[in-house]
Amino acid sequence: MRKISLKLAAISLAVIVAVVICFHLIVVSGIIPYTIVWGGRLENRSQMLIFEGVSIAVNGFILWLTAQRANWLSARLSPKLVSLLFWALAILFMLNTVGNLLAKASLETYLFTPLTFISALLCIRLALKDQERAKPLATNTSR
């Protein structure tokens, strides 16, 4: 997993999340019908606005968290908290992958299943940053 550099993982996840946010904004605008998202289970426009609003907010949080891990922001969270949140996101993305496989809408199955699976792997990579072994300090044996 560490063969993927932290920089590549952060940039890749940021791009995926930004594209997903754009997709959700297009759904809200009505260009893409809401019947093809959320597993084809949304019943009306007001329900869609709630679900899409939550999704945009969650994806905005993921983008912000990715910026935290990549040191793109000056305000810093605890590295251990960031790792914990990325582990939680990895689990969420894996569950979402299963949900996409079971979706009624084929767009979710064929397009978003690979995206959520890749996002889960990228979150795992970003979670592992602080769990890398520290190199032992050199000891001075001559006095």
Q: Rounded to an integer, what is the distance from CA 50 to the centroid of its chain?
A: 20
Domain boundaries, the chain: 6-130
pTM over 0.85: no
**Model confidence pLDDT, tens digit, residues 15-49:** 999 999 999 999 999 999 998 888 778 899 999 99
Residue 21 has a pLDDT of: 97
Whole-angstrom distance, CA of residue 55 vs CA of residue 20:
9
| Residue 138 CB-density burial (10 A; 0-12 exposed, 13-18 middle, 19+ buried) | exposed
Whole-angstrom distance, CA of residue 81 vs CA of residue 129:
12
Which run of H or of E encompasses 114? helix 113-127
Please, what is the end-to-end C-alpha distance for the chain in angstroms? 42
